Amino acid sequence: MSNEEYIKLHREDDVRRLALKRAPEGVDHKWCLQQIEGWQLARKKLPRWAATDGLWYPVRLSMEQCSSEATAQYKRQLVERLIPEGQRHTMTDLTGGLGVDFSYMAPLFDEATYVEIVPELLRLAEHNMPLLGIGNGQLRIKNGNSPGNLQSSIFNVQLVFLDPARRDTEGRKTVGIADCTPNLLEMQDELLAHAQWVMVKLSPMLDITDALRQLKGVREVHVISVQGECKELLFLTSPNPLPRRGHEPHGFVFQSESDRVEAKADVMRSEEIGSHVTVCCVNLDTDEDIIVCTFPVQDTLKVAHSPSLGGGGGRSLYEPNASILKAGVQDMLCERYGVRKLHPMSNLFVGETLIPHFPGRRFSIVGMSDFSKRGLKTLIGDLSKANLTTRNFPTPVAQLRRQLHLAEGGDAYLFATTLSDGHHALIRCRRAD
């Protein structure tokens, strides 16, 4: 039996159990198990890859660290907006890795260069990229250990993409730009001297404002979540200001429902931002609104609290998604949606009507109580379990759950929070999605 036959026969099987069985003669058991596990991970994370026969997959860690199909497709759409068709001549991915992002952006260019320092990943890229539709005449694969290869790969290109490794020599996770490999801060001047655009993927744990102080020529920041979980930060840098796109005012840009499909590919329409940076908050694989805010560089992400605060009231409660919370632009929601903040530090909003496509979770308010015994008994009633969340509240969730004698789960949602007058409150809701 060949490796290919063994993989095809067992790719739906439990890898851990399969590892305990003896493989047929002629089968590289370790390699096959790696391929089966890789395909099973790709089936959820990279459906297009999983549907492509014959691809080779790396070890589990590389599969877990690679971009998802949703975020790779989003990068492709950014390239389509930033660089007009007919001007996409060359691109370089200086940190090729498994090549997921590269496989989505490279087909847009006449020539695409993949650079990687790990021999195994280079071997996989040479095998996989043609199968993914990147032709031999279009593809250049280079070993990043050669300084000559590195330098020649960034000369006079339309796009350079980097996803610096966020682990140190001991394998520990890092967050700071200077702690990643390669160190972008040491090479950004050279990149901006030769590339029209530099797209950098960084950790979602990174402080955006600190990054903007260190990076040069930042035009856009994209805070990307997938189904509510913040996955990555994208910084788009360029030596040139963006061309004028329209006449929208500074501070807020919103795409209407009729433009929703187009908005996924054209997420920013704002005036020239030579001295401004645009922050785009998106939650992929949902129908939530895309929020785009434009600020002067010196005031980036420093938004005054909305004066529209409420101690309670309203029939609907809203919790912004992870991208908006990460970017720190949640106060813009008051202006756009006509909602009120319960408290400057609570990150919970209330409104009179249910807002379709709000960028976050939506709830209908059932009732609200203080923490007196009578109030809690009336609000909670005979509930035995509930989904409990605390926002700007002194008691941890686990301790509060014990005090309320509630198990986790069910259809009820409870928010323990602080109102604008300083009083604590428990709000009972049901999901409105």
Q: How many CA atoms lie within 13 A of 22 on its CB side?
A: 2
200: left (phi over 0), alpha (psi -120 to 50) or beta: beta
Note whether residue 304 is domain-resident.
no
Is the omega angle on the peptide bond into residue 130 within 30 degrees of 0, that is, cis?
Answer: no
N- to C-terminal Cα distance for the chain?
Answer: 51
Confidence of residue 154 (pLDDT cuts 50, 70, 90): confident
Same domain membership, residue 269 and residue 159 = yes
The span from the CA of 312 to the CA of 310, in Å, is 5
CB-based contact 395:384 (threshold 8 Å): no
Note whether residue 17 is domain-resident.
yes
Same domain membership, residue 75 and residue 205 = yes
pLDDT tens digits, one per residue of 26-65: 889 999 999 999 999 999 999 999 999 999 999 998 898 8
Same domain membership, residue 120 and residue 238 = yes
pLDDT tens digits, one per residue of 371-428: 999 999 999 988 999 999 999 999 999 999 999 999 999 999 999 999 988 899 999 9
Angstrom CA distances, 33 to 3, 38, 49, 123, 126, stand at 10, 8, 18, 18, 21
CB-based contact 323:329 (threshold 8 Å): no
Same domain membership, residue 260 and residue 148 = yes
DSSP, collapsed to helix, strand or coil, labels residue 127 as helix
Note whether residue 308 is domain-resident.
no
Looking at this protein, which amino acid is placed at residue 205? Answer: M
Confidence of residue 147 (pLDDT cuts 50, 70, 90): low
Q: Which CATH number characterizes residue 18's domain?
A: 1.10.10.1110
Angstrom CA distances, 271 to 55, 125, 260, 280, 301, stand at 43, 40, 20, 15, 18
Total count of domains within the chain = 3
pLDDT tens digits, one per residue of 168-178: 555 566 668 88
Q: Which of 235, 264, 299 is the last residue of a domain?
A: 299
Strand order across the beta sheet in which 276-284 lies? 139-143, 111-116, 90-93, 157-162, 195-202, 229-237, 218-226, 276-284, 291-296, 253-254
Note whether residue 305 is domain-resident.
no
Same domain membership, residue 186 and residue 73 = yes
Over residues 325-341, mean pLDDT: 89
Confidence of residue 150 (pLDDT cuts 50, 70, 90): low
Q: What distance lies between CA 258 and its chain's CA centroid?
A: 24
Q: Which of 33, 65, 97 is the last residue of a domain?
A: 65
Note whether residue 187 is domain-resident.
yes
pLDDT tens digits, one per residue of 127-138: 999 999 898 778
Note whether residue 306 is domain-resident.
no
What count of other Cβ atoms lies within 10 Å of the Cβ of residue 241? 13
The span from the CA of 182 to the CA of 195, in Å, is 17
Q: Which CATH number characterizes residue 285's domain?
A: 3.40.50.150
Confidence of residue 298 (pLDDT cuts 50, 70, 90): low
The pair phi, psi for residue 295, each rounded to 5°, is -130, 150
For the chain, state the CA radius of gyration.
25
Same domain membership, residue 57 and residue 82 = no
Q: At what angle do helices 29-45 and 3-10 cross, to 10 degrees?
A: 50
Same domain membership, residue 225 and residue 149 = yes
Angstrom CA distances, 121 to 72, 95, 323, stand at 18, 11, 31
CB-based contact 200:162 (threshold 8 Å): yes
Same domain membership, residue 33 and residue 88 = no
DSSP, collapsed to helix, strand or coil, labels residue 13 as coil
Looking at this protein, which amino acid is placed at residue 351? Answer: G
Q: DSSP state, 178?
A: G
Same domain membership, residue 50 and residue 82 = no
Does 204 have pLDDT greater than 50? yes
Same domain membership, residue 108 and residue 96 = yes
Count the helices and strands in the chain (H runs, E runs). 16, 17
* Dihedral of the alpha carbons of 95, 99, 104, 110, in degrees to the nearest 10: 70
Candidates 394, 393, 395, 369; CA nearest to 383 is: 369
Note whether residue 286 is domain-resident.
yes
**Most confident option among 135-149, 232-246, 344-358:** 344-358
The span from the CA of 145 to the CA of 149, in Å, is 8
Note whether residue 364 is domain-resident.
yes
pLDDT of residue 168: 57
The span from the CA of 341 to the CA of 328, in Å, is 14
Domain range enclosing 325? 316-431
Q: Which of 237, 269, 299 is the last residue of a domain?
A: 299
Same domain membership, residue 325 and residue 284 = no
The span from the CA of 266 to the CA of 245, in Å, is 11
Beta bridge partner(s), residue 351: 316
Same domain membership, residue 415 and residue 393 = yes
Q: What is the pTM of this model?
A: 0.84
